[in-house]
Every structure is written in C-alpha cells, then in structure tokens.
Amino acid sequence: MRIDIFIILLIGAVLLYRWTRKAPPAKDEEFSPGEPKSTEMVLDPNCSTYIPETEAIKATIAGRDYCFCSEKCAEIYREKKSAV
C-alpha cells in the first residue's frame, strides 16, 4: 500500500515538474528575421576589451572609424588622439 502511494506521488511530482518548467523556444523563435545569427567581436582601442560589434559605440576620430565599449572609453581615446 505504501509503495503504491509513493509511486503515485513520484509520478505526480514528475508531471508537475514537466508542466511547470519553461519549454525551450521553438526553432522558428530562436532568431528573429532581422537579428544576425552571429556577432563579430571588435576590439576597443582604448581599454583592449572585445565587444560585439552590434553593441559597440562607434566614433570617427581623426578621419578613422573606431568601436568602443562605452562613451567614456571613446572620450578618453579622443583626448589621447587630440594630444598627439
């Protein structure tokens, strides 16, 4: 009798777990149509941090395009270049 109750409770717990856990996204929902499937990493010339190009702060300094991890890094690099 007690084994029957244990098995019923175990099955109920497994079913409850499967019902409440988040289902993985469907294959169609993994990427939206406009979203790139891979992201190229770029190097911040100021702090040498690699960041995804899509998230980079882009700035043109002395006629050249650069990618930065933050506005602060862009400002510091701009100041360094103007001092040279």
Choice among 14-18, 19-23, 64-68, 79-83 with the minimum mean pLDDT: 19-23
Q: Is the pLDDT reported for residue 73 higher than 70? A: yes
Tokens matching residue 54: 């899509």
Over residues 20-30, the pLDDT tens digits come to: 887 666 665 55
Quick count: other Cβ atoms within 10 Å of Cβ 78? 16
Four-point Cα dihedral 18, 24, 28, 29, nearest 10: 120
**83 by DSSP, 3-state: which?**
helix
- Pairing label, strands 57-61, 50-52: unpaired
Give domain limits for the chain: 38-84
Beta carbons of 79 and 60 less than 8 angstroms apart: no
- pTM > 0.75: yes or no: no
